[in-house]
Amino acid sequence: MTSYFRKHFFRFAVPAAASFCAFAIVAVVVMITANIIILGAPHISWEFITQPPRAGMTQGGIFPAIIGTFLLVIIMSIAGVPIGTVTALYLAEYVSKKSIIVKFIRFAVNTLAGIPSIVFGLFGLGFFIRFVGKGMDSLLTPGEMIRWGQPNIMWASLTMAILTLPVVIVSVEEAIRAVPRELREASLALGATRWETIRNLVLPNSVTGILTGAILAISRGAGEVAPILFTGAAYFLPHLPHSLNDQFMHLGYHIYIMSTQSPDVDATRGIQFATTLVLLALTFSLSFIAIVLRFHLRRKIIRL
């Protein structure tokens, strides 16, 4: 009787518990999204999207923050995805899984993934601004005004690129290892070199994984605020960044400021939800572009 009960209990209880957890996650996501849309959509307007903030950021729009966030994500992806892809390629193709180098790099990647994001901000302040930036000022413009030794969008983007490196490395490495080993062996048997095999066979078949890593990096990078507090984000700017050594406004930082530093938090609650809605829409749009690109590349590879 006991074994019969256990058999039927686990047959129905495990799927039921798994289904409940899955639907609970979906329900939480739907509730949060619906709450943001209901409270933020009424404040969305053309002026809100295209105008800079004014009157102590209680009126106007968030256009500088939208452009600043977009530029941050693009520069971060340009800097981080190639480095993460090359690192994953080295781990998957050029060294043995049991080598000390692989263990050391994997330990470093896992450690990076577990470091609090605020620590990345302090690292960016110390390394990029204090060390690299001031060194560049000393070499390029000695005795003149500070150009690179101060917070700007370049150092903020590079700090975010380091933050998202573990996500890119893990996803790309998994995609490269998913390419069947028989294809590599057949290519080498036909006389191709290792680099020719990687360039013509491994990379084309793992490009979807590379784009997946880029999508995950965009999702992580667009929403992080702590690393850019010290490295580039500005409290208020009525204009857009004109060069890589300019500060910028960020949607996430703007929400933080409006909810904690505003003289009348209740009066700006609608702006906070509307800014959150725009941040979600921007993140989804960038991820959607990467998903469409990945879909077309996958279809092209299948046709070949």
Question: What HEC string does the chain produce?
Answer: CHHHHHHHHHHHHHHHHHHHHHHHHHHHHHHHHHHHHHHHHHHCCHHHHHCCEECCCCEECCHHHHHHHHHHHHHHHHHHHHHHHHHHHHHHHHCCCCCHHHHHHHHHHHHHHHCCHHHHHHHHHHHHHHHHHHHHHHHHCCCCCCCCCCCCHHHHHHHHHHHHHHHHHHHHHHHHHCCCHHHHHHHHHCCCCHHHHHHHHHHHHHHHHHHHHHHHHHHHHHHCCHHHHCCCECCCCCCCCCCCCCCECCHHHHHHHHHHCCCCCCCCHHHHHHHHHHHHHHHHHHHHHHHHHHHHHHHHHHHC
Regarding pTM above 0.85, the answer is: no
Looking at residue 12, its pLDDT comes to 78
The angle that helices 269-303 and 251-260 make with each other, rounded to 10 degrees, is 160
- pLDDT, residue 2, reads 63
Other CB atoms within a 10 A radius of the CB of residue 277 amount to 19
**Parts of the chain with a pLDDT under 50:** none
Q: What residues form DSSP beta bridges with 233?
A: 248
What pLDDT was estimated at residue 304? 60
Taking a C-beta distance cutoff of 8 angstroms, is the pair 169, 87 a contact? yes
